Structure formats: structure tokens, C-alpha cells
Structure 1
Amino acid sequence: MSRHIEVIAPDDRDKIRKIGFVHFMSISTFAASMGYCGMCFGWRMAHELWGVPAVIGEFFGFCALLFYILIFSRYFHKWRVDSEAVRAEWDSPTKINFFGTFNVSTVLLAAVLAPYTPTIASIFWYAGLILIMVFSWILLEYWLYSRQQVESVTPAWILAVLGPITIPIAGNVLQNPGYHDISIFCVAIGLVTGIPLIFLLFAHSLFAKNMTANAVQPSLMILMAPFGMGYITYTQTFAPDTFTVLFINAGIFLFWPIAIKILYVMRHSPFCMGWWACSFPTMAFTNGVLHYSVDHPVLWTKGLGIFLLLFGTSLILYLSFKTIWAAVHKTLWKLY
């Protein structure tokens, strides 16, 4: 451990030795739970569509819950012993957006747990619903009343939009009182704020200097999440129509250059925990395409759905392996 302390400022070394690894945990670590939730949903669909063993999807769902509990306990410990670091994340114009990963993972777990325990799943859903809406309002107020710097604009801004459109995913399964009206409300948020924000962030990512860092570039995949979640939420709340077909096809067009760029960065750069930001968006878009292949059952949509499911699963398993390797070799904290 001492040989890694050298990367820390001298004045902070005693503090780091006392607190330990938890000091370096970012709120964005909840993205790992989100990614495994996405794999759970994807392989559940694979079971329904192609008869793949159901245990695969349920295993990934169990991993998502396990990671959520582990990360929650460790981050809560960080808040207790190092509240200044948590406050610094909240006050950061770029890191504050990643608090949405905790909110979204909470509501996604409601969909994971729904087949087993609807009561506990409903608790997760209502808790996630409140957290997501409050957080989205806080961010919206922050954007409107504070002068924003160009450097602070990152794809993580989309989490304020991604949160609401994930609420109907579990809501349409649980069908708690008022779920349909809530779903309509969430779809409205996605349409009004999501589409303009997607194009704003896409244009910004082409020119902003802060997007040149290899630690940040995989977060570009966040731009794909609204296409997948938006398609699922809209079609399950209403029905497939021409708009949803246009929307998911636009996502299919954008996916390839973004995926190629991210794979290039991962191949030519040292591993960074920030790469987990691309895990759930990849699976969110994958699930959107899988639903599209059901609504539009032709050869290319089915083939694309299978390819994306295998691609997303391989990507998340790769990130898991790299994370475990870094943790075992005690270099993990240098990767945030």
C-alpha cells in the first residue's frame, strides 16, 4: 500500500492511511450495478425470445443487487468518515450529475426484484421515483439559476433525463396505483428535455476540450441510453408508432461511431473506473433494440439484437475483470 501512497499529496497521506480505499470511491461506482441490471433485462428477453437458460439473466440480476448493497454500504461509510470528499463531489459541476447513478440503479432494481418480491420491489420503485424526480428538479434549478461553464458540460448531464424515463420500466411491471399517469409524465419529460439535450451534448462532445481525456470519452455512450430506454418506455406506455421507429433507428445510426471510438480508447489507454459509465447505456440501447426486434421482427433487427446483447455482455464482463484485477493489485484508487 505504501508504494501507492506516493501518488497522494503529502499533506493528505495520513488521512488516506486512516480512511483507506473508501476515500477514492466515486458515486459513479453505482454505474456497475446499473450495468448488471441492464444485462439482467437483456438475458431475460433472450430467455423469452430464444429459450436461453433463465438462470443467466437471474444471475446477473443477483449480481446487480449484490453490487448495489456493497457499493451503498461502502459509500455510506465514506460519507460518515470523509464527508468532505462527498460534499466535494456534490459541489463539482461535473461530478454532481453522477449522483443520478444511485437513483437510477435504485429504480432499476425494482424491475429486477419484481418477479420475486413485488412488495420490496415497490419500495425500491417508490424510493427511486422520489429520488429521481427530486434530483432532476435540483439539477434543472442549478442549470437555470447558475451560470454554466462550457467545460462542465459532459454526457453525464443526460442522467437528469435518463432517470425519469427509467421509472416506467419497473412501473409498467409492478402496476402500482397511478403508474400509468406517472409513466405518461416521465415520457413527457423525456421528449421535452431529452431530445434537445442529446443533440446539445453530441455537438459539444465534438469540440469540447474536456472530452479529449481517455477517462471521459467512454461516457459518450451515455448518449445512447435515451434511445434505448426512450423506445421501451414510450412503446410500453402507449404503443409502437412511426416516431418510435424513427427514434430507435437514429440511435442505431449513432451507435457505431461512438462504440468504435470507445473501443479504440479502451485498447490504447490504461483502465479507468470512469469506463463503467458506458456499461448501462450499452445495455439500455441493447434492450431497446431487442424490443424493436419484437415489434419489427425481420432478420436484421433480430441479428442486431443478438450482436448487441453479446457485445454489451462482453464489455461489462471485461470491465468487471479489469476492476477485479486492479483491486487485487491495489492500484484501483489511482484509476478514478
Structure 2
Amino acid sequence: MNNEEKKTGWLENFPVLLFTVIMGYSGLTLALQIAGEVYLSKITLLITTCLFLLILLIYIMKIIVCRNSVIHEWQHPIKISFFPAISISILLLSMLFKTFSIEIATILWLVGIAAQTLLALSVLANWIGNRPYETIHISPAWFIPTVGNIIAAAGGVDLGFIQISWIFFSAGVIFWILLLTLVFNRLIFHDPLPERMVPTLAILVAPPAVTFLAWIKFNGGNVDSMAHAMYGASLAFLALTLTQARLLIKLAFSLSWWALSFPFAALVSATMIYGTALNSQLHLLLGRAGVFLLFLLIVGLSLRTVLAFFRKEICMPD
């Protein structure tokens, strides 16, 4: 390996998957805001923003310096699903900044929906285009573009973009239902997920949990039949994910472990909102316990990621 390859090696292999780190930190910050932890949420928002800018800057450098590597990621049947994590990160930051500045939140949301529209449609066009996909390429990571649409709706309602939010919400829910059938067909009737993709099973929790959060906003904070159904579905998918815990424990660390963070954060936020709306002390208690566990999860994943980078376990060729 020559000196130039050594300089760009880690950059060339810097994965778009790292934007799920921002999703995890954003989910933690949102949960802390809902829990009323003002001081802690400000700290985590600062960390989230700095991490987003750092990861975005590095990935822009990768686009400039290692363009072929980015094209390879885009053409990869599994990695392509993670590109909308970029737009989702922007949309989540919009939701978090709403507490401090409507103007900043609005700008971020508009940028986020533009990026989400471009990336989600591009991924969908890739799926249904001329390129052949095989069943083994399907994984819960395919829900990521869908989740982005629903997050766009959740943020847009608060900013007054009701009609646009309905469009994103409708598209997100419809494609979630369609993809759910494909994913379960793959999980049940075909080979098990590769080891590094097993943590993505947690993504099953995200669509119903985020749908609950968006629906509550559309419904003026009231819990109706739809809200009950989505929250119940979140718990059902959580239980299903926990049945595979024995497999997770045996796995070596990889960046896909960050797939655990945002779905759990979305469920924790949904639990606290659910408890507040129903005045259920049990759900509020579970929500606060969830925030504590989520905090430990994010800290643990962060430390393990830093350690893995210095051990050259990540940002290396597949």
C-alpha cells in the first residue's frame, strides 16, 4: 500500500451507515426533551449537531476524494438503504431545534424534505428499475426510507406544513406496509440474515413507533384507535426483536449495532407521550426507565465505536 492509499484508506471506507449514529443521538435528545430534562437535552443536542457536521463534512470529503467508493455504496443492494439516514438526520435536527428557534427548525425541515424526497425516490427507483434484486438483499434496513417520510410528517405538523406532511405520512405508511410483507417473507422463507445485519431487526420497531408520534401530532395530542394500534404494534415488534436477543449477544461489534438506537429511542418517546396523554403513571415510569437505558445504550455504542475505529475494526474494506 503506497502513502496515498494509507492517507485515504479510512476515508474511502467511511460508510454512509455512520449517519445512523446521528439518528441515535437525535432520538436520545428527543426523548430527553419529552422527559423534561432540559439541561441534558441541550448537551446532547450540542453533541448531536457537532457529530452531524463532522460526519457530513467527512462524507463530503469522501465524495470529492473517493467518488468511486461512494458510487459503490450507492450501487450496493444493502448499503443503498442507508443513504436516507442523511436526510432523516436533518429532519430530526429540525424537530430538536424547534424548541429554540422556529426559523432554524423550518430551514432544516425544508432542506430535510428536499433531501428526503430526492433520496427516497432515488432508492425506490433503484429498487424497481432494471437492476435485478434477490430476496437475500432484503432486510429491515429497507424500512429506513419509509421511516424518513413519516419523520418528515411529524416535524412538518409542528411547523404548520399540514398538507405536505399528510403526503409524506401517507407515502411512508403505505410503503411500510408493502415492505413489511417483503421483509417477513425474506425472514421466514429464506436464509437467515448475515450476522452483521442481525441488529437491523430492531428497525422493525421504528415504523409503528414513529407513525404513533406523527399521528398524535395530526390528532392534536389525542390517543384514538389508530394511536393505540400503532403503539401496540411497536410493543409487538419489540417483543419479536427480543426473541432474537440470544443471537445479538453472540455477535461481534459492527456499525450495524447502531440500528438498535433510534428504534428504541422512538419507542421510549412514544411511551412517554402515550403515558402523558392517558395519565398513565406506569407508562411514564417505563418511559423514564427507558430514557436511562437509552442513555446507557448510546454511551456504550459510542465508546465501542471509537474503540473499533482505533482497532481498525471499522472504516475498513468489507
Query: Number of matched residues?
Result: 315
Tell me the TM-score normalized by structure 2. Answer: 0.91
What is the DSSP-based 3-state SS (H/G/I as helix, E as strand, rest coil) of the residue aligned with 1:93? coil
Aligned-partner Cα distance in 1 for 2:177–2:276: 24
Partner of 1:244: 227
Q: 1:28 and 1:173 mapped to 2: Cα distance? A: 28
Aligned residues of 2:24 and 2:265 also touching (Cα < 8 A)? yes
Residue 309 (structure 2) aligns with: 327
CA distance in 1, matches of 2:284, 2:199: 26
The answer for the alignment partner of 1:197 in structure 2 is 179
Does the 8 Å contact 2:26/2:93 carry over to 1?
yes
Amino acid at match of 1:254: F
Aligned-pair CA distance for 1:77: 0.8
Structure 1: distance between partners of 2:306 and 2:24: 16
Distance 1:167 1:173 in 2: 11
Task: For residue 311 of structure 1, report the CA deviation from its aligned partner.
Answer: 2.4
Give the letter aligned to residue 294 of structure 2: G
d(CA) in 1 for partners of 2:197 and 2:171? 26
Corresponding residue number in structure 2 for 1:5? none
Deviations 1:241-294 (A, max 9, x none): 112202211221220231452x43443222111211221122112212222112
**1:105 match:** 89
Letter in 2 for 1:167: A
**Residue in 1 aligned with 2:42?**
58
Q: Summarize deviations over 1:170-199 as a string: whole Å, max 9, x none.
A: 223333xxx011121122113322123224
The separation in 2 between residues aligned to 1:264 and 1:299, in whole angstroms, is 31
C-alpha contact 1:38 1:283 (8 A) present in aligned 2 = yes
Q: Tell me the residue number matched to 1:81.
A: 65
**Residue identity (%):** 23
Distance 2:63 2:280 in 1: 50
Give SS of 1:332's match: coil
Q: What is the RMSD of the two structures over their aligned residues, measured on CA atoms? A: 2.1
Query: Which of 209, 222, 227 is the matching residue for 1:228?
Result: 209
Map 1:254-273 → 2, pairs under 5 A: 254-259=237-242, 261=244, 263-273=245-255
SS in 2 for 1:115: coil
What is aligned with 2:98?
Answer: 114
Equivalence map 1:96-175=2 (5 Å): 96-146=80-130, 147-175=132-160
Which residue of structure 2 aligns with residue 9 of structure 1? none
Report the counterpart of residue 219 of structure 1 in structure 2: 200
Quote the offset at 1:89 in angstroms: 0.4
Write the distance in 1 (CA, Å) between the matches of 2:4 and 2:184.
Answer: 40
Distance of aligned partners of 1:329 and 1:63 in 2 relative to their CA distance in 1, 3 Å threshold: same
Question: 2:290 and 2:197 mapped to 1: Cα distance?
Answer: 22
8 Å Cα contact 1:108/1:169 also seen in 2: no
Alpha-carbon separation, structure 1, partners of 2:264 and 2:317: 21
The separation in 1 between residues aligned to 2:93 and 2:86, in whole angstroms, is 11
Question: Are 1:272 and 1:335, in contact at CA under 8 Å, matched by a contact in 2?
Answer: no
C-alpha contact 2:87 2:115 (8 A) present in aligned 1:
yes
CA contact (8 A) 1:232 1:288 kept: yes
Find the counterpart in structure 1 of residue 169 from structure 2.
187
Contact 1:153–1:201 (CA<8 Å) still a contact in 2?
yes
The answer to whether the Cα contact below 8 Å between 1:31 and 1:101 also exists between their aligned partners in 2 is yes
Gaps of at least 5 residues in structure 1 are 1-11, 48-52
Query: Which stretches in structure 2 are left out of the alignment for 5+ residues?
Result: none
Q: Residue 42 of structure 1: which of 31, 38, 55 is its match?
A: 31
